[in-house]
Amino acid sequence: MYLREARKLASDRLREAGIDRPWFEADLLICSIIGMERTLLLAHPERPFPEHLIPELKAAIERRAAREPLQYITGVCEFMGRAFRVGPGCLVPRPETELLVAESRKYFKGGLFLDWGTGSGCIATSILLDNPGSRCVAVDKNPVALTWAWRNLREKDLLGRCLLCHCSSLERIPVPSPGFEMIVSNPPYIPSAQIPELMPEVERYEPRSALDGGEDGFDHYRSIVGWAPSALVPGGVLILEAGSCFEEVSVLIQ
């Protein structure tokens, strides 16, 4: 099999499964498996596809056709221009969450901050890299997600600056004296009844604990807004991601 044939095999199956941009995703699967840059793949379609990797390619194609997130299959997601390890058990970082990190740059100039619901650790890692010398407590109630956060922090040599905590309650988080300079969070904010309506990649595969915000989607906002004043230093900042409910969240904070 040549690369051109591998691309057609993958793209045809993904198109049949209703995947948007089947050629693009086929290329990403192939590049991930054979360790090739996409530009090289496109420039040399006549090169042979390694025969011993054909079963792996076919398995990856079927996983994606079943609507498993592409990032779970390749094991990588880009966030803030950096590669993060992701897989089953953690939420795939969203491009819109980069706005939360960008917003933190306006207010956080170093010190200790809390990342509540750290997931893959992409927020904590990005802020730590933005602020040399800063430290973080990164918390999640999902132990599997914490293993992904640990991998990402380790790859970027940040384990010495971040305390990972498995905790399901804000009240159980160890708050230092006098408190955190900043609290950041991308909490679950999808109303429970809307979970079945999500894209298959999200509804079937991503952890519900990272999505479900309770009956009205505000459960976690109420908790963190009520708790944050006791955990922040005077003048500390709370930065939250919100979906279409951002106006209601603003009122809640005020």
Confidence (pLDDT) at 245: 63
> What is residue 251's predicted lDDT score, i.e. its pLDDT?
65
| CA distance linking residue 79 with residue 150, whole number of Å | 16
Q: What are the structure tokens assigned to 73, written together? A: 């299959």
The rounded distance, in Å, linking the Cα atoms of 183 and 117 is 11
Please indicate, yes or no, whether the overall pTM of this predicted structure exceeds 0.75: yes
**Contact predicate 181/112, CB 8 Å:** yes
Residue 244 is predicted with a pLDDT of 64
Q: What is the pLDDT of residue 242?
A: 87
DSSP helix/strand/coil, 242 = coil
Q: Is 168 exposed, middle or buried (0-12, 13-18, 19+ CB in 10 A)?
A: exposed
> Residue holding tokens 């933005």?
130
- Closest Cα to residue 139, out of 86, 184, 206, 182? 184
**What pLDDT is stored for residue 243 in this prediction?**
72
Strand 112-116 relative to strand 180-185, pairing: parallel
18 neighbors 69 (Cβ within 8 angstroms): no
Question: CA–CA separation, 69 vs 99, rounded Å?
Answer: 22
How far apart CA 174 and CA 204 sit, in angstroms, is: 34
The helix or strand, by DSSP H or E, that contains position 83, with its residue range, turns out to be strand 82-85
Distance from C-alpha of 242 to C-alpha of 250, rounded to nearest angstrom: 9
CB within 8 Å of 141: residues ≥ 6 apart: 117, 166, 167, 168, 209
Per-residue pLDDT of the chain (254 residues; tens, 9 = 90+): 999 999 999 999 999 999 999 999 999 999 999 999 999 999 999 999 999 999 999 999 999 999 999 999 999 999 999 999 999 999 999 999 999 999 999 999 999 999 999 999 999 999 999 999 999 999 999 999 999 999 999 999 999 999 999 998 998 998 999 999 999 999 999 999 999 999 999 999 999 999 999 999 889 999 999 999 999 999 999 999 987 666 676 666 66
What is the structure's pLDDT at 15? 98
d(CA 216, CA 226): 17
User: What would the two tokens of residue 59 be?
Assistant: 């398995």
In the block, residue with structure tokens 């990164």: 138
Q: Are 202 and 90 in contact (CB under 8 A)?
A: no
Residues 6+ apart with CB under 8 A from 140: 117, 118, 119, 146, 149, 165, 166, 167
